[in-house]
Amino acid sequence: MKTPVPDYLDEIRTLCDAGEDGTLADYIPELAAVDPERFALAACMRDGVVYATGDADVEFTIQSMSKPFVYALALRDRGIDAVLAKVAVEPSGDAFNEISLEDSTGRPDNPMINIGALTTHALVGRPGTGEFDRDLIISAGLSAFAGRPLGFDDEVYRSEIETAFRNRAMANLVRATEIITDDPDEIVRGYTRQCAYRVTVRDLAVMAMTLATGGVNPVTGQRVVTPRVCRQVLSVMATCGMYDAAGDWMSTVGIPAKSGVSGGIFGALPGQLGLAAFSPRLDKHGHSVEGVRTFERLSRDMDLHLMNVDGADVEVVRSAVTDDEGGRRFRLQGPMTFATAELVLRQFEEIPAGPQTVTVDLEHVSTVNHTARRMLIEGMRRLGLDGHEVVLVDPERRLPDPGLSSPAPAGR
């Protein structure tokens, strides 16, 4: 059986194609020259399995999507209290390039706007770390989040550094107030370099999942940062990651997220999955038009809003046994969500083509949300198409009869 998850992603991508809505980031010459028709979507699961559709292998620069990860590195290197002393965590309600500072302290409002990200960049490494060493730390850190060495786009870097006048002004401002003590030009160069690393939507989904798992890369198994750092980063992403659209995003999508002017958006749903979308046309907030539509659709159709309360950290397959006649019986448990149902579908996928009896036992399942219901029914339907007799054990009748066989009693 082939899992239907890639088909779901294909369907979502088709539904969210925005045509020619939005504009390219034409204030950066290299970004103004990209193909506006690119569109990709990826999802990374807790165990590192990545599903992707569309232009998933196309590389683009990470831009402002680097901010949460560099913030995480600063928190790791300096500690949360030391970073908070320099950068606050309050939503500014302003666009990404506004000069938003606290009246009482002079701190940038948060690390997701440019003035806060410039300050955060200066906090990577131990006190006294120079420009070259800081660049090495950030390169290694971003690559550890992605699970592979990331390349660098020198042409995009040069294109951006030549027009970085506003960022230079902001770096000089936080230097003048002694929020940072480094050379402002050095910080602008370093920040612009951190934005010029190349990623794909697959990379972003893995990076997001690394935050969502508490700092362990699901592909490599490497611990990049601590769970406490991840909690801090995800909290700031939830409230500040989408700039002056953060409130609308949190209420409608409900996934901590960050966008970039290259057209990417990534989101990290704690304990469940990492998501990423890429399409270069931007809305008035600087977010990908198709990326926003994609996340809105995923959240709505797959019950991915952070405020949903039907998740739990349990093994979803209580047991999977083969009986004397060669039939397979899957005893499931706990709540069924997108993430847990995907694990079940993956076990279904390992069953060779029939004929044999496959029993799906939901006796110990606590809840089934509508996304998991669709996924399980589709999985059982596909098992039937593979020639299996599918038997559903569902004493609480959480699923409708898939029409492949009659439901069996709980004791069968």
What would the pLDDT profile of 20-40 be if each residue is shown by its tens digit? Answer: 778 887 777 778 778 888 999
Mean pLDDT across 259-269:
96
Candidate list 51, 157, 191, 197, residue with the active-site label:
191
Query: What is the predicted pLDDT for the residue at 402?
Result: 56
Length of the chain: 412
Q: Is the pLDDT of residue 312 over 70?
A: no
- Which residue in this structure is represented by tokens 């196309």? 58
Mean pLDDT across 237-254:
93
Q: How would residue 105 be classed by pLDDT, with cut points 50, 70 and 90?
A: confident
Candidate list 83, 224, 261, 292, residue with the active-site label:
261
Is residue 155 domain-resident? yes
Quick check: is 243 catalytic? Answer: yes
How many independent structural domains does the chain possess?
2
Same-domain pairing of 296 and 336: no
Instruction: Give me the domain span that covers residue 30.
Output: 5-301
Is residue 309 domain-resident? no
Quick check: is 51 catalytic? Answer: no
| CA 40/CA 53 separation, integer angstroms | 6
Candidate list 34, 67, 157, 229, residue with the active-site label:
67
Q: What is the CATH number of the domain that holds 167?
A: 3.40.710.10
CB-based contacts of 398: which residues, under 8 Å, 6+ apart? 336, 362, 365, 367, 368, 373
CB-based contacts of 346: which residues, under 8 Å, 6+ apart? 3, 49
Report DSSP state, residue 23. B
Q: Is the pLDDT of residue 407 over 70?
A: no
Is residue 398 domain-resident? no
**pTM higher than 0.75:** yes
C-beta separation of 16 from 8 below 8 A: no
Tens-digit pLDDT profile for residues 59-79:
999 999 999 999 999 999 999
Candidate list 64, 66, 159, 259, residue with the active-site label:
64
Q: Amino acid identity, residue 306?
A: L
Same-domain pairing of 128 and 10: yes
Quick check: is 8 catalytic? Answer: no
* Average model confidence (pLDDT) across the chain: 91
Candidate list 243, 289, 292, 358, residue with the active-site label:
243
Query: What is the predicted pLDDT for the residue at 322?
Result: 80
Encoded tokens for 44: 């990374």
Quick check: is 188 catalytic? Answer: no
Q: What is the CATH number of the domain that holds 362?
A: 3.30.750.24
Is residue 196 domain-resident? yes
Mean pLDDT across 5-20:
87
CB-based contacts of 61: which residues, under 8 Å, 6+ apart? 31, 153, 156, 195, 196, 197, 198, 199, 260, 262
pLDDT > 70: what percent of the chain?
95
Quick check: is 67 catalytic? Answer: yes
Same-domain pairing of 325 and 297: no
Encoded tokens for 198: 């190349």
